[in-house]
Amino acid sequence: MNQRPAILGVLAVVLAAVLWGSTGTLQAQMPAERIPVVVGVVRLIIGAIALCVLAVATGARPRSLGQLPLGGVILAGCAIGLYNLLFFRGVALAGVGVGTAITIGSAPLWVIGYEILRGTIPTKAKAFGLGLCLVGVVLLAGLSADVRPDPLGVLLGLGAGASYAFYSQATSAIKTDLDSSAIAAATFTVAAIVTAPALFLFDTAWIWQAEALWPLLGLGVLSTGVAYALYTWGLRHVLPSTAVTLALVEPMTAFFLAVFLLGENVTLPTSLGAGLLLVGLMLVTRAEARRKA
């Protein structure tokens, strides 16, 4: 009963989520005139380049990429490309806290619903852990009855969550002997190609400013390239529903970065949210280790 692959998969997903958590802080360093959709597309392009370099460094060759199932790669690539466009636009309309909470909070529900349709029923411990995580995310985002988010922003957030969930399912279904970095490189190359036309629809002059260039590189290389290489590897060892739930480490990371780097205030609800999220993630991790055993 070897639990080691599951634990390593959990650690890979959690580390990826920590890197994703730096997204908000990096965006805060960009010029005020930045356009969210452009940020998302440039992030994908830089991330695809970084992943291709990583794939070659780990031994993948262009000829060997032909072994990948083309249909699965295209589906996963289109899904993650759509996620980026919907997420960045949704956050711009609904607000960072609300948009992020709706997107990443709905993603585990989308995935679990899909797994239930396929006959995989979550254990009581995992379901309880997920419930704690969702409450924690709501508290961290500062949601309350007084919040009136933009309806279109909410719909875009739900669409982004569904796209991210579908990407996780599609990537998990790709079966190959190639390194996971090759899978990530192929899917993100597709995502960069299908979203690149958006650059012709918006102003892109601001991305060449020094104030924007370094944060964009950080978003592309670390928050996309390295993060999704880890996440793709983790999907080989844990269920997609577990991976998407563990990715809720992202808002907790964003919370701590906002407190310590951006000087945001700590409140009782956000502190309680971080605690519930941590406990929920521990329960989900334990349930995944038991399932693997």
Q: pLDDT, tens digit, for every residue of 71-129?
A: 999 999 999 999 988 988 887 787 766 777 788 778 888 888 887 887 777 778 878 88
Residue in the block written with tokens 């949704």: 90
* Distance (Å, whole) CA 293 – CA 289: 6
* Distance (Å, whole) CA 205 – CA 31: 11
**pLDDT over threshold 60, residue 147:** no
- From the list 263, 240, 273, 281, the residue with the least C-alpha distance to 120 is 240
* Distance (Å, whole) CA 35 – CA 281: 33
* Distance (Å, whole) CA 108 – CA 89: 21
pLDDT of residue 37: 87
* Distance (Å, whole) CA 119 – CA 208: 50
198: part of which helix (H) or strand (E)?
Answer: none
Mean pLDDT of the chain: 83
- From the list 103, 78, 90, the residue with the least C-alpha distance to 195 is 78
pLDDT confidence bin for 257, thresholds 50/70/90? confident
pLDDT of residue 292: 57
pLDDT of residue 291: 64
pLDDT of residue 80: 95
Torsion of CA 281, 283, 287, 292, to 10 degrees: 50
Residue 281's identity, in one-letter code, is L
pLDDT in tens, 165-207: 899 989 988 887 778 888 999 999 999 999 999 999 988 999 9
pLDDT of residue 283: 79
Residues 89/201, Cβ–Cβ less than 8 Å:
no
Residues 226/59, Cβ–Cβ less than 8 Å:
no
* Distance (Å, whole) CA 149 – CA 95: 7
Residue 39's identity, in one-letter code, is V
pLDDT of residue 1: 41
pLDDT of residue 62: 66
* Distance (Å, whole) CA 181 – CA 131: 32
Output 131 or 226, whichever has higher pLDDT. 226
* The two three-digit tokens of residue 241, written as one number: 């529903």
End-to-end CA distance of the chain: 5
pLDDT confidence bin for 143, thresholds 50/70/90? low
pLDDT in tens, 150-159: 788 889 988 9
* Host domain of residue 278: 4-292
- From the list 176, 167, 189, the residue with the least C-alpha distance to 236 is 176
* Distance (Å, whole) CA 124 – CA 287: 9
pLDDT in tens, 22-50: 877 787 788 888 888 899 899 999 999 99
Residue in the block written with tokens 């592309």: 220
Mean pLDDT of 232-239: 88
pLDDT in tens, 48-67: 999 999 988 887 776 666 67
Number of domains in the chain: 1
Q: Where are the alpha helices (DSSP H) in 118-150?
A: 124-141
Of the chain, the percentage scoring pLDDT greater than 70 comes to 88
- From the list 258, 255, 261, the residue with the least C-alpha distance to 273 is 255
pLDDT of residue 64: 65
Which range is least confidently modeled, 40-44, 139-143, 230-234, 265-269?
139-143
Output 256 or 31, whichever has higher pLDDT. 31
Model pTM greater than 0.85? Answer: no
